[in-house]
Amino acid sequence: MTRFIVSLLLVAIPGPLVTQEAPKAWALGEPDVKHPQPFDHIRAAVELSDGRLIVLDRGPYLVNPAAGISAPIGRFGGGPGEYRLPIKVFPFRGDTTAYIDAARPGHLLFILPFGRIEGYLEISGVSFARDIAADEQGRVYLTLFGRSGPNDSIGILRWQQGYAKGETLARVSSRVITGASSSSRTSLPPFATFDQWAVSRDGRVAVVSVQPYRVTMFYEQGESITGPVLPTEEVRVTEQHRRDWLEQAMQPVPSFVSVNGGPRTAQWVSPRKRDLQPAAWPKFLPPFLPGALAFAPDGCLWIQRTTSDPAFASIDVVDRKGMLLGRVGLPASRRFLTHGREGVYLLRIDEDGLQYIERYRLPPGYKEAVSGNR
């Protein structure tokens, strides 16, 4: 069995993190939309201009949260309009949604706004992309496995249709930050993280570093602004953190499986719990974990932070200059899903692990605080 593995340099997390003055805090109220259909394991979602969502669970869905209806997009298979292992969706140009299918390396595939899989682009290196995104012009941004450069960094490339190769806009560290060692050769230690990046719809690239915790904004004209070190708190790893990590680590992953030496087939595979038990747990959590970044329509960068109680998520809101504007607190047992024009979408997770989509209006005072960020 072959699994997707990231092989990067491990760097230890030191003890307690720096503590600074608490930022402004906002809290989300009650949801104004609750979608009634449960999902199993939502990976991502994209809002269309009319308020519908392209939602990626095991497969893609077209969801109308306000009307309470949804429908699957395409079907499992290898032909036109079909998918096998879709692992990520993200906005492309207009109301077209792009997605990556692990079973179709080197291809960027598309979901049209009326809910049909149609069309693709061939992009050199997509099969080895560690991260991938696009801006409103349809330019693609990605980093590639095995392409480390000076000082263990990886270039963030921007690729445009019609060009043979991309241009390097910025670099991000390839180090993995961890507070514990791993006895497994096929997985990272628990709560390992690394520097991350995200792209705004207008083409700004944000790189968020772990040590120290700060944001650097790269602009299209080649300019960059590095913000101040942002406040962090000491977050000790609790038994609940450990249980949640194991539960998440046991979720199915895209794999290519060969039975008795036969041809490899693409399928979802759930790891065995005994294979995930770490030799040791870290004492402290890093400021954020993988998948923490999302640009809002107002131009602010949202960074989901680690918290002492994993049931209550907290999000740092950072402006164009890397300054912390405040924090948004999510209701209990909710997880951030995506931004929308009328607010934000969260996932409510019930006691059986089923996921429900909810939409929340932005809290009072938020729009005024970020009004100068456009």
pLDDT-based confidence at 12, cuts 50/70/90? very low
pLDDT at 115: 94
Report the percentage of the chain scoring pLDDT > 70.
87
pLDDT at 125: 56
Written as six digits, the tokens of 56 are 């990626």
pLDDT at 127: 55
Task: State how far the alpha carbon of 79 is from the alpha carbons of 55, 85, 104, in Å.
Answer: 21, 13, 11
Report the percentage of the chain scoring pLDDT > 90.
62
- Parallel, antiparallel, or unpaired: how do β-strands 116-122 and 107-112 relate? antiparallel
Count of positions (residues) in the chain: 374
Closest CA to 251 of 84, 40, 7: 40
How many Å apart are CA 41 and CA 14, to the nearest integer? 33
pLDDT-based confidence at 184, cuts 50/70/90? low
- Using the predicted structure, report yes or no on whether residue 34 has a pLDDT greater than 50: yes
Task: Match 């199915």 to its residue by tokens.
Answer: 252
pLDDT-based confidence at 39, cuts 50/70/90? very high
Which of 102-106, 159-163, 283-287, 367-371 comes out lowest in average pLDDT?
Answer: 159-163
337, 349 contact by CB (below 8 A) = no
Which of 174-178, 180-184, 284-288 comes out lowest in average pLDDT?
Answer: 180-184
Task: State how far the alpha carbon of 22 is from the alpha carbons of 169, 184, 362, in Å.
Answer: 33, 38, 20
∠ CA(65), CA(370), CA(24), 5° rounding?
95
- Using the predicted structure, report yes or no on whether residue 142 has a pLDDT greater than 70: yes
pLDDT digits (tens, 9 = 90+) for 56-65: 998 999 999 9
Which of 173-182, 332-341, 353-362 comes out lowest in average pLDDT?
Answer: 173-182
- Using the predicted structure, report yes or no on whether residue 276 has a pLDDT greater than 90: no
Written as six digits, the tokens of 170 are 């910025």
pLDDT at 256: 77
- Ordered structural domains, the chain, with CATH: 2-373 (2.120.10.30)
pLDDT digits (tens, 9 = 90+) for 107-123: 899 999 999 999 999 87
Q: How many CB atoms lie within 10 A of CB 210?
A: 21
Q: What global pTM score does this model have?
A: 0.90
How many Å apart are CA 255 and CA 329, to the nearest integer? 35
pLDDT-based confidence at 129, cuts 50/70/90? low
Closest CA to 99 of 67, 126, 66: 126
How many Å apart are CA 32 and CA 35, to the nearest integer? 10
Which position has the higher pLDDT, 274 or 207? Answer: 207
Which of 15-19, 129-133, 197-201, 317-321 comes out lowest in average pLDDT?
Answer: 15-19
pLDDT at 252: 84
pLDDT at 151: 62
Distance of CA 296 to the CA centre of its chain: 13
pLDDT digits (tens, 9 = 90+) for 199-227: 999 999 999 999 999 999 999 878 999 99
- Beta-ladder partners of 132: 142
